[in-house]
A and B are shown apart, each in its own frame.
Chain A
Amino acid sequence: MSVLEERYRRWLRLLPASYRAEREEEMVWAFLEGAQSGRAGHDDQHPRFLEIASVAALALRVRLGGPGSPPRSHLWGEAVRRAALLGLVFWTVIGCLYAGQAVLTYGIPPEMLPDGVMGIGDPGSPERVRLVLAELAPLLWAVALGALVRGRSRTAKAAAVAALVVPYMLMPPLFLNWESAVRWACSILPAVVMVLALVIGFHRDAPPSRLPARRALPVVAIPVAAGLLLALVVGVLGAATRAGTVPAPILVQAWMWVDVPGLASLSLLALTVWCAAMGRTLTWPGPAALAGAILAVPAVLARAGTLSPGGADPALGMTGLAGGVQLAVLLASGITLAVVGVRALRAADDTRALYGRPSGGQPR
């Protein structure tokens, strides 16, 4: 076996074993024939980058398959697609929360702003415009969700990437040291993971995500309404903080539950309860549970990234308490969802063992 063949076979391990059992030999032969004619390889030692990329893309499509795929691949595919969908629902809530806050803070005449509300820059200044646009840009999450449920996955991907990137282009993060950079990276992980799930899950072979307009409307409208309601809650919290009428320890705890990791912990807890309740009566919480487990990992890191050693500061101690509770909720939810998901994967393997590969063509 030549070095080139050995290396190409190593890349083919990206594909599932069942697929390789069916296709590896003919793929290797086709590749080597191309390499001999100078088509597929730059030299005798290394497969060309685009060849490797094509194998990686094929592996993703096969591993995250659609309805005609082996049960395990189908389950993983559904899990990643639901992670994208559930994530988009969550980020639509957050986007509307940010936008609602921006409107509450900057959308009213400056003289009517309550004392203590400060913005960046003067009204109409470039700094103010950039800030407001950065806080309105997350509305693109709602656009992405709407496009996805109407079957326009390409538009959804473009809108989601824009929703992720544009706010940071308008207001670049400032890193004081490596620790602040790590904390920032942890804070954006939940959105990054969701966008990745969207991009890789809704590939060309994935089943269409289109819902009828009557069903698609509430999928978008409910998170939008929830986000706007939360913006009002945050507005009330802000007013209470400025007025100093509520004891600081209570306010600190309350703020911790309306930031992104706090809301993520509540959302994942709700998903866990739903999966546990439905698990015995329905067969389909498996993908949702795996999706929740996928989303729980970055949420744990995001929460952990906001916590600091408390020391003697009572305020930090309170954030540590709420943050600790949320971390515990996230970990418990993540583990429970992973257990439900793994059971579903085992059931999928049992189905495959019982009935074999679906008929009608090559393995996918």
Chain B
Amino acid sequence: MTEPAFLVLTALVDEPRHGYGIAQEVERLSGGRVQLKIGTLYGVLDRLAADGFVEADREEVRQGRLRRYYRLTDEGARALEEEAVRLADNARRAVERLRLRQAGGLA
């Protein structure tokens, strides 16, 4: 799973969001490091929808303009959890080894 896909799924965990709302949340989650362009965002949403990880939630018309909201599916939540556990395991192992190195164990 790519980092933008991971962050988009994470952005949808708490509530359905529309396109710009997802882009904003991804930027916030990544501390400003990942700024999804609109073309990139919809490319990621297409892939996640094709995999069944997100789906359209509802549509709203505001000021005469369409806003489509997306929500995380159960399958998407499972995929995100698996990826999060995998990343956390990797991070934990890295931290353990760094601690050993600092203690002189692997130096």
A35 smallest CB distance to B (angstroms): 10
Tell me whether B38 is interfacial, beta carbon within 8 Å.
yes
B50 close to A360 (CB less than 8 A) = yes
A206 smallest CB distance to B (angstroms): 12
B11 smallest CB distance to A (angstroms): 13
Count of chain B residues near A, Cβ 8 A:
24
Tell me whether B33 is interfacial, beta carbon within 8 Å.
no
Q: Is the interface of A mostly helix, strand, loop or mixed?
A: helix
B50 close to A29 (CB less than 8 A) = no
B43 close to A61 (CB less than 8 A) = yes
B46 close to A30 (CB less than 8 A) = no
Interface residues of B in 33-51 (CB under 8 A from A): 35, 37-43, 45-47, 49-50
Tell me whether A219 is interfacial, beta carbon within 8 Å.
no
B46 close to A29 (CB less than 8 A) = no
A53 smallest CB distance to B (angstroms): 8
Count of chain A residues near B, Cβ 8 A:
31
A27 close to B19 (CB less than 8 A) = yes
- CA of A39 to CA of B24 in the docked complex: distance in angstroms? 10
Q: Which residue of A lies closest to B68 (CB)?
A: A26
A27 close to B42 (CB less than 8 A) = yes
B76 smallest CB distance to A (angstroms): 12
Interface flags for A116-153 (1: CB within 8 Å of B; 0: not) read 00000000000000000000000000000000000000
Interface flags for B3-46 (1: CB within 8 Å of A; 0: not) read 00000000000000011100100000000000101111111011
- CA of A31 to CA of B42 in the docked complex: distance in angstroms? 11
Which B residues are CB-close (under 8 A) to A205?
A: 43, 46-47
- CA of A362 to CA of B55 in the docked complex: distance in angstroms? 9
Interface flags for A54-71 (1: CB within 8 Å of B; 0: not) read 111111011000001000
B66 close to A26 (CB less than 8 A) = yes
Tell me whether A43 is interfacial, beta carbon within 8 Å.
no
Determine which of A50, A361, A362 lies in contact with B37 in the assembled complex, contact meaning CB atoms within 8 Å: A50
* A residues in contact (CB < 8 Å) with B: 23, 25-31, 33-34, 39-40, 50-51, 53-59, 61-62, 68, 204-205, 360-364
